[in-house]
A and B are shown apart, each in its own frame.
Chain A
């Protein structure tokens, strides 16, 4: 059975039927799925969740689907890592990485939202699914659509990284490259959704789609041993994931699944696209849109539709926002790779770089638990790393040349040089 009650306007609480609707007729406020938490009490428990599959569908009772899941059966339940080497480097006591760069099938947090959205698209009888995307969402929609036998139409800015484009095309979608930035693509998509009977996951399925992002937060809580990190640092692009991680924490608290440790949540953006962080710094309720200019293209959204709620949730929690320069982002990508063996995209570098700045400025205390949300994979954006590593000379297959190179590397790569043979 499903615990879903209705769609509800986040502003005026007007209720709507569970249909492909996006905004409230009265005030254009976003619609959100409402659940019957009373009915869940005693039934949705640690034990009921632990008995579920090792995927995001173990949280099915807290997701807005009617029947059985029909997409993303292997999505979610990504690694949660106690990052001790990184913690030592940063001088903090307890640091975790929630690693959605290893999500299935398309290596980003988007596999969560798409698993839910495509299940709903099938429930609503759509044969075509689509999205406006900075790359990761398009990749995920195309992958899940191929597996589910749906037609995919993905709309992206024309200048995305090659890795994202090739990986997406391999799933056979119709790809529409649009001149302009994500915000231009997004606006076009809302007009497309008005005209074509497609399930555009982040437009007409948005209330369902966004619920999938909660599973990132549920997993953090479960994998931490049914408790919440005191401080969670999340990237902010369109503004979906951060309020949904927060909602996940609050739902678990409401259901008595975790203790309320008064968690705080923090938003990370790139200096070249930081409308939400700017609003937080200036203590504004509303953000002013920006024209993005950053290497972190996955999060280059200058007019975040849910930015208002990101600001609200961060303020309520007592958290804050931070932004990072392109070089700080690249340095953080390398740091995460070097200390933990995780290769993230610049969006992940942004989140870590901002977490570091929040620690250094004292906003996040060094002796409390911290979780950094890594939402995408570096293999899709390899071109940004060009020039970031020392050149590696090629040698002939001769022992003498090898010995010489080992000696050189001991000088240039002291921390990474192989141990010399006995």
Chain B
């Protein structure tokens, strides 16, 4: 089994993953990790994905505090111990 990364789950999505704040998941890219979660928790996946390869536009994904859109989106590579945060978009100014 590959090394795992930590996935941080926002409050709004915790009911869909058995009320866990974070999960250890194996995968070599962000896309791998999220589809593995989708397999384990289909209700979670329904909210996370807009279509098969597209994340819901109201959700931002960060790897170690950097938005994946500044890296390689779902192809962003991961190494053991990386932290993937799922954060709903919020406004401000």
What residues of chain A have their CB less than 8 Å away from a CB belonging to chain B?
11, 22-23, 25-30, 110, 131-134, 136-137, 182-184, 186-187, 189-191, 194, 202-203, 206, 210, 237-240, 286, 288-289, 291, 298-299, 301, 303-306, 308
Contacts of B91 in A (CB 8 A): 30, 202, 206, 210, 238-240, 304-306
**B93 and A187: CB pair below 8 A?**
no
With A28-B56, A28-B59, A187-B60 as contacts: A305 and B67 at CB distance below 8 Å = no
A-B contact pairs, 19 of them (CB 8 A): A22-B88, A25-B12, A25-B47, A27-B47, A27-B56, A28-B47, A28-B89, A30-B58, A131-B92, A132-B92, A136-B93, A184-B65, A189-B90, A206-B90, A210-B91, A298-B93, A303-B60, A303-B67, A305-B92
Contacts of A187 in B (CB 8 A): 60, 62, 65, 85, 87
What residues of chain B have their CB less than 8 Å away from a CB belonging to chain A?
10-12, 47, 56-60, 62, 65, 67, 69-70, 85, 87-93
Contacts of B11 in A (CB 8 A): 194
**B93 and A291: CB pair below 8 A?**
no
Bound Cα distance A301, B89 (Å): 13
Contacts of A182 in B (CB 8 A): 92-93
Contacts of B92 in A (CB 8 A): 131-134, 137, 182, 186, 189, 202-203, 238, 240, 301, 305
**B93 and A110: CB pair below 8 A?**
yes
Contacts of B89 in A (CB 8 A): 28, 303, 305
With A27-B58, A289-B67 as contacts: A299 and B12 at CB distance below 8 Å = no
**A289 and B93: CB pair below 8 A?**
no
Scoring B56, B65, B90 by chain A CB atoms within 10 A of each residue's CB, the highest score goes to B90
Contacts of A27 in B (CB 8 A): 47, 56, 58
Scoring B57, B87, B89 by chain A CB atoms within 10 A of each residue's CB, the highest score goes to B89
Bound Cα distance A288, B57 (Å): 11
Scoring A136, A137, A194, A304 by chain B CB atoms within 10 A of each residue's CB, the highest score goes to A194
Bound Cα distance A30, B58 (Å): 8
> Nearest Cβ distance between residue A13 and chain B, in whole angstroms?
15
Scoring B12, B58, B88, B92 by chain A CB atoms within 10 A of each residue's CB, the highest score goes to B92
With A27-B47, A286-B57 as contacts: A190 and B90 at CB distance below 8 Å = yes
| Interface majority SS (helix, strand, loop, mixed), chain B | mixed
Q: When the two chains form the complex, which single residue of B10, B58, B62, B70 contacts A194, counting CB atoms closer than 8 Å?
A: B10
**A23 and B58: CB pair below 8 A?**
yes
Contacts of A133 in B (CB 8 A): 92-93
**A237 and B90: CB pair below 8 A?**
no
**A289 and B57: CB pair below 8 A?**
no
> Nearest Cβ distance between residue A31 and chain B, in whole angstroms?
11
With A28-B47, A289-B69 as contacts: A203 and B90 at CB distance below 8 Å = yes
Q: A30-B58, A210-B91 are in contact. List 18 more A-B contacts (CB 8 A).
A: A11-B58, A23-B12, A25-B47, A27-B56, A28-B58, A28-B89, A133-B93, A184-B65, A187-B62, A187-B65, A187-B85, A190-B87, A202-B90, A238-B91, A240-B93, A288-B69, A289-B70, A303-B67
User: Smallest CB-CB separation from A240: which chain B residue?
Assistant: B91
Bound Cα distance A25, B16 (Å): 10
**B93 and A301: CB pair below 8 A?**
yes
> Nearest Cβ distance between residue A158 and chain B, in whole angstroms?
15
Contacts of B60 in A (CB 8 A): 187, 303
**A238 and B12: CB pair below 8 A?**
no
User: Smallest CB-CB separation from B86: which chain A residue?
Assistant: A28
**B69 and A134: CB pair below 8 A?**
no
Bound Cα distance A134, B47 (Å): 30
**A186 and B90: CB pair below 8 A?**
yes
> Nearest Cβ distance between residue B13 and chain A, in whole angstroms?
9
Contacts of B70 in A (CB 8 A): 289, 291
Bound Cα distance A27, B89 (Å): 12
> Nearest Cβ distance between residue A110 and chain B, in whole angstroms?
7
> Nearest Cβ distance between residue A247 and chain B, in whole angstroms?
14
> Nearest Cβ distance between residue A108 and chain B, in whole angstroms?
9
Bound Cα distance A131, B11 (Å): 19
Contacts of B88 in A (CB 8 A): 22-23, 28, 190
Contacts of A131 in B (CB 8 A): 92
